[in-house]
Amino acid sequence: MNRIVVFCGSSLGFNSIYKEAAIELGNYFARHGIVLVYGGGKIGMMGAIADTILAKKGKVIGVIPKLLEKEEVVHSGVEEMIVCKKMSDRKVIMSKLIDGYITLPGGFGTLDELFEALTLNQLQIEQKPVGILNINGYFDATLQQLDKMAEEGFLKPQNKALLIVADNIPELMNKMNNYTPPKTTHIINKVVR
């Protein structure tokens, strides 16, 4: 994978472990020549990963909607900044640029982006690895919700398996690099009893 989008918060959270994980992932990308595609911000987790990669002379591409293109938000150090009209445009642009998705801790926007990536794969519009770095058990409750969705018949187990989960970067990257997408079918499989 040459280009990976990282979805993450515009906040750092209360525990320094989250910022440390963003920095560690940034260092991994820089060492392995992976281009970061991200939301274009200089704040929070977004800023931490972008700053780390830029400090190591790595490549970063930001994609930011016009409504967020404000001096206190946009990262002025990112040379390739794509400004789009709407939030929904941002996701389409990112999707076209990347080979895979990684999600770090964040809020509503982060989960929205994660689940859109999973939905695109479930519908076989895309066949890219979608991973979460489950730092400090941050996504445990989200994973429990997916289990409940499968248990109650709203999510097929093979679709739940589209999400790659690891609590450390080497394991996550290894799983993503070895990801084999499901075979495409002409019929979208629905959950039925």
Mean pLDDT over the full length of the chain:
92
Closest CA to 62 of 76, 48, 72: 76
**Tokens coding 52:** 């780390």
Burial class of 106 by CB neighbour count within 10 A (0 to 12, 13 to 18, 19+): buried
pLDDT digits (tens, 9 = 90+) for 4-62: 999 999 999 999 999 999 999 999 999 999 999 999 999 999 999 999 999 999 999 99
Task: Report the predicted TM-score, pTM, of the whole model to 2 decimal places.
Answer: 0.92
